[in-house]
Structure 1
Amino acid sequence: MDETTRRVGVLAEYERLAEEVESLRRAIADTEETADSADGLVSATVGGNGELVELWLDPRIYRSPDSSALAATITETIHRAARQVEARVFAEAAKFLPADATPETTDLRFDPFLHSLDRR
Structure 2
Amino acid sequence: MVQPTIDPAARKADYERLRDDLLEIRDKIADIEASADSPDGLVSATVVGRGELSELYLDPRIYRTHDSKALAGSIVDTIKDAVARSQEQLFEITRQYLPPAAKLEDTDVHTGPFLHQLDRKIKGEF
Q: Compute the TM-score of the two structures, normalised by the length of structure 2.
A: 0.79
8 A contact 2:50–2:83 mirrored in 1: no
CA distance in 2, matches of 1:75, 1:66: 15
Structure 1 residue 8: Cα displacement = 2.2
CA distance in 2, matches of 1:64, 1:108: 41
Letter in 1 for 2:19: A
Structure 1 residue 31: Cα displacement = 0.2
1:33 match: secondary structure: strand
Match of 2:11 in 1: 10
Comparing both structures, which one devotes a greater share of its residues to helix? Answer: 1
CA RMSD of the aligned region, Å? 2.2
Q: Identity percentage over the alignment?
A: 48
CA distance in 1, matches of 2:101, 2:51: 23
Structure 2 unaligned segments of length 5 or more: list them.
119-126
Letter in 2 for 1:61: I
- Aligned pair count reads 110
Q: Compute the TM-score of the two structures, normalised by the length of structure 1.
A: 0.82
Q: 1:33-72 maps to which residues of 2 (within 5 A)? A: 33-72=34-73
Match of 1:92 in 2: 93
Match of 1:73 in 2: 74
Structure 1 residue 48: Cα displacement = 2.2
Q: Which runs of 4+ in 1 moved over 3 A?
A: none
